[in-house]
Amino acid sequence: MHPLITLVVQRIALGLILLLAVSVLIFLGVEALPGDTAQAILGQGATPETLANMRESLGLNEPAISRYFTWLGHALTGDFGVALTNKIDIAQAIGQRLGNTLFLAACAGVIAVPFAIGLGLLAARHNGRWPDKLISGVTLAAISLPEFVAAYFVIYLLTQVFPVLQPVSMVFPGMGFLERLHAVALPVIVLVMVVLAHMMRMTRAAILNVMQSPYIETAELKGLSPMQVIWRHALPNAVAPIVSVVVINLAYLVVGVVVVEVVFSYNALGQYLVDHVTKRDLPVVQAVGLIFAAVYIGLNIFADVVGIVANPRLRHPK
Amino acid sequence: MADLLSIKDLVIEATSYPPGEKPRTVTLVDGVSVSLEKGRVLGLIGESGAGKSTIGLAAMAYGRGGVRLTGGEVRLNGRNIRGAGAVTLRELRGREVTYVAQSAAAAFNPAKKLMEQVIETCLLHKIMTRPAAEARAVELFRKLGLPNPEGFGNRYPHQVSGGQLQRAMTAMALCPKPDLVIFDEPTTALDVTTQIEVLAAIKEAIHDQGVAAIYITHDLAVVAQVADDIMVLRHGKTVEYGPTDQIINRPGQAYTQALVSVREIAHVEKPDAAPILTVDAVTARYKGTNFDVLKRVSVAVAPGQTLAVVGESGSGKSTLARAITGLLPAGQGAITFAGRCLSPDLAGRSRDDLRELQMIYQMADTAMNPRQTVGTIIGRPLEFYFGLKGAEKAKRVAELLDQIEMGKGFAERYPAELSGGQKQRVCIARALAAKPKLIICDEVTSALDPLVADGILKLLLELQAREGVAYLFITHDLATVRAIADKIAVMYRGEVVRYGQKSDVLSPPFDDYTDLLLSSVPEMRLGWLEEVLGRRRMESAGN
């Protein structure tokens, strides 16, 4: 078998093992909290008898290990149970919000990734001169603002000063694609501002690192222009570090944007999670935690695999 | 005929930033003039820092790093290109002048196929169509003796050997049919047996294509084989400039004479004696591999004598050193040192075992902590092995510095403030500080200029005579072997193929490999290359 396939399969297997380990951690973490689901459901009015009955009916008297496997087995088949607070099926509730989350992340990513890499290349091309300093300065300023400050700033600018957008990003089932795009425009602008600097700076650093190599001099002595040198000779050798930082930011766009969701009243997974954490709705917390972990690990495996495939020594062994 | 390249009174400067001082301008090349006609080869020769590469790159109006061409003129095909605009320079680079770098392994982009890189210039400057360029590349691969010329371009740089890459780089430089090719030490990184083939291929290609060339090297014997004229450089100035025959056979300047005669240290071998180190049938392999890098190697070193271990890269000579020092535990066989049987791995050895067996490395630069002074570096083994402190230690450091012919003022300096030769001397002093019985020298002169290397060899011989220390001297350079060895072991693919007293090993009848190795060492006379290749051709035809 081609050694590349072995490596990729190994990486994916490692990711799955990691995900399993994370599921154990999530389960144990919830276990370690004082009180249990029965108490959470019955609340203040619980008597020892009702608690015992509830525990019996929820299967809480089983040993932790068998409860873990029951939970995992159900989760794997897409059954996360029902939320304690409103008795709504968790999988169904998550499904719709996950779609919203991914839509927002995808919109921000599609704009931010090419933009950040392009700016990074441009900054590397003009290393140390004014375009580099300008790009670094502006992106750094954008990342230094807390998300909610950036959000309110953008709202003020685009709904008050230039009233072209509405300040809330309500989405609902049955909305058309263009309508949705219009609705998420403001949060997308904020998220792009937030993730741009990190990716742009890493692209610039990775390119500049490669620019030290002797083969860059070879390319210059062939008569290539600076941008041709960067595009044809530096970028192919900087793919792995750039992809890994892009992926970290994409993962952030999926799992870490609750503040932006709240500011724009965007109904997505982050808000859903935080709501249920405050209500101590443990099955929901577990389910969303597991999904976030899967997204995070999946994206990072993707970056690893791209890094492996981009390496000619692994792709074409001697 | 008008000159293709004419450089007049060229001045090249750079800004240096010494630590803790104000930046200052240093002159790298000072008033050098060169002229080169179409189809001729000019050799530039000198030590490192002489400005050879800088002048070579100036022919493309290129300054490496912050290097600036500040004075004089560089005329290429009649027009002055010094200070020309970026667009003009991009037009002529790759079209009129091309460049072959010292380390082809680093000069090829690891992420792209060789063919893409070889024809890139032709396509960029629209010199030929892609099919025409590919056909020409295959033709050049064939002329340069590369295996499977049709398929060679489909490979990635890491998939071919160093000698093949160097030839591919030559093909890349010749592909766009330039007027001038700059060869910057194209064979320096290669083994002698590979060097001779690449050298012959380059020479033939230059003549076939009718291009002019500047051939940069520190090895006068190499340049004598390919150049029509030679310029000897030192500290950025021309020492001597003339036809090859005159420079080699009738050098006018004392410096050139020293360069021509540098390879002639005579060393009389000492008679064999009872050994201090015996390596008996040692076999070793690296972890996770199933291939023996050393195959039943047996050698011995007598006290106060030198065993030279010779071979090309990959022959296992450095691995032998690692097995002896215990860094790579031998799988089988025994190593006996000073009457004791040494434990195969480092952890099982006594402090005396460690002290009496010292090592000096090729790269003196990386073998010293850049943040420690010379005094600290040399003082460390004194403290570790003998518990010396304070004034006592300082006194011994001064003695050691005196032994390596450096004043005691050097104790306060940092490695970065030393020249290459001085750094290697400090490493020798550090090894001597442990009062060893045997020092393993791993290519200790390979990174140094010939005259400096000469000084190091003389110092090592003096120290041997005075201290009675034995050397196991690893090298690929046969001139060094002649200068220092009492016994020689020739290694090839992990085995010792020839072993004995120096005079026996270096006299016929030879085994095939030793013959190949010895006859591949460039000799300082015109026509040597053709002579050797002609003889080899006749022999292979005779078989």
Please tell me the predicted confidence (pLDDT) of residue A1.
Answer: 66
Residue A60 predicted with pLDDT over 80: no
Please tell me the predicted confidence (pLDDT) of residue A142.
Answer: 85
Indicate if B277-520 has the same CATH topology as B5-261.
yes
Nearest CA in chain B to A309: B111
Kindly state which CATH superfamily the domain B5-261 is placed in. P-loop containing nucleotide triphosphate hydrolases (3.40.50.300)
Is residue B183 less than 8 Å (CB to CB) from chain A?
no
Q: Which of B93, B106, B112 sits opposite A222 (nearest CB)?
A: B93
Is residue B161 less than 8 Å (CB to CB) from chain A?
no
B137 touches B153 (CB < 8 A): yes
Query: What are the distances in angstroms from CA B344 to CA B73, B90, B440?
Result: 62, 58, 17
Give dist(CA B39, CA B287) in Å, integer.
Answer: 52
A200 touches A120 (CB < 8 A): yes
Nearest CA in chain A to B176: A222
Please tell me the predicted confidence (pLDDT) of residue B143.
Answer: 85
Q: Mean pLDDT across the stretch A18-28?
A: 92
Sheet holding B24-36, edge to edge: B24-36, B5-16, B68-76, B79-80
Write out residues 215-244 of A within 8 Å (CB-CB) of B. 215, 217-225, 228, 232-233, 236-237
Please tell me the predicted confidence (pLDDT) of residue B16.
Answer: 79
Query: Which stretches of B406-459 are assigned E, i.e. beta strand?
Result: 438-442
| H or E stretch covering A133 | helix A130-144
Give dist(CA B51, CA B45) in Å, integer.
Answer: 9
Confidence bin at A93 (pLDDT 50/70/90)? confident
Please tell me the predicted confidence (pLDDT) of residue B296.
Answer: 92
Q: Which residues contact B8 (CB under 8 A, 6 or more apart)?
A: B33, B72, B73, B75
Task: Given CATH 3.40.720.10, say whether it is the number of domain B277-520.
Answer: no
> Across the interface, do A224 and B106 touch by the CB < 8 Å criterion?
no
Q: Mind listing the pLDDT tens digit for each residue in A213-255?
A: 999 999 999 999 999 999 999 999 999 999 999 999 999 999 8
Beta strands at B212-217 and B180-184: parallel, antiparallel or unpaired: parallel
Residues of chain B positioned with their CB less than 8 A from the CB of A217? 64, 101, 107
> Across the interface, do A312 and B60 touch by the CB < 8 Å criterion?
no
Residues of chain B positioned with their CB less than 8 A from the CB of A223? 89-95, 121, 124-125
Give dist(CA B376, CA B397) in Å, integer.
Answer: 9
Q: Which residues contact A154 (CB under 8 A, 6 or more apart)?
A: A186, A189, A190, A193
Is residue B126 less than 8 Å (CB to CB) from chain A?
no
> Across the interface, do A218 and B111 touch by the CB < 8 Å criterion?
no
SS (H, E, C) A140-193: HHHHHCCHHHHHHHHHHHHHHHCCCCCCCCCCCCCCCHHHHHHHHHHHHHHHHH
Is residue B91 less than 8 Å (CB to CB) from chain A?
yes
Transcribe B444-466 into DSSP letters: TTTTS-HHHHHHHHHHHHHHHHH
Question: Residue B462, CB half-sphere, CA atoms under 13 Å: how many?
Answer: 12
| Cross-strand pairs, B359 | B440
Q: Which of B110, B125, B156 sits opposite A223 (nearest CB)?
A: B125
> Across the interface, do B110 and A237 touch by the CB < 8 Å criterion?
yes
Q: Give the minimum alpha-carbon distance from A219 to chain B in angstroms, rounded to a whole number.
A: 9
Q: Which of B106, B124, B159 sits opposite A215 (nearest CB)?
A: B106
Cis peptide before B509 (omega within 30 of 0): yes
Q: Where in chain B are the domains?
A: 5-261, 277-520
CB pairs under 8 A between A and B: 71
> Across the interface, do B60 and A237 touch by the CB < 8 Å criterion?
no
| Cross-strand pairs, A136 | none
Please tell me the predicted confidence (pLDDT) of residue B264.
Answer: 61
Three-class DSSP category at A131: helix
Nearest CA in chain B to A229: B109
> Across the interface, do A223 and B93 touch by the CB < 8 Å criterion?
yes
Please tell me the predicted confidence (pLDDT) of residue A224.
Answer: 94
Q: Mean pLDDT across the stretch A124-135?
A: 92
State the CATH architecture for A100-280: Orthogonal Bundle (1.10)
Is residue B52 exposed (0-12), middle (13-18) or buried (19+ Cβ within 10 Å)? Answer: buried
Q: Give the minimum alpha-carbon distance from A217 to chain B in angstroms, rounded to a whole number.
A: 8
> Across the interface, do B109 and A214 touch by the CB < 8 Å criterion?
no
Return the closest-CA partner of residue A101 out of A267, A285, A228, A248.
A267
Q: Give the minimum alpha-carbon distance from B172 to chain A in angstroms, rounded to a whole number.
A: 10
pLDDT beneath 70, residues of chain B? 1, 19, 262-265, 543
How many other CB atoms are there within 10 angstroms of residue A232's CB atom? Answer: 18
Please tell me the predicted confidence (pLDDT) of residue B262.
Answer: 59
A30-39, A180-189, A296-305, B224-233, range with the lowest pLDDT: A30-39
Q: Mean pLDDT across the stretch A16-45?
A: 83
Please tell me the predicted confidence (pLDDT) of residue B230.
Answer: 93
First to last CA, chain A: 15
Sign of the CA dihedral with A70 first, then A71, A72, and A77 last: positive
Give dist(CA A230, CA A117) in Å, integer.
Answer: 12
Beta strands at B487-492 and B495-501: parallel, antiparallel or unpaired: antiparallel
A38-42, A158-162, A310-314, B396-400, range with the lowest pLDDT: A38-42
Residues of chain A positioned with their CB less than 8 A from the CB of B116? none
Q: Mind listing the pLDDT tens digit for each residue in A69-87?
A: 888 888 888 888 888 777 8
Sheet holding B487-492, edge to edge: B357-360, B438-442, B470-475, B306-310, B487-492, B495-501
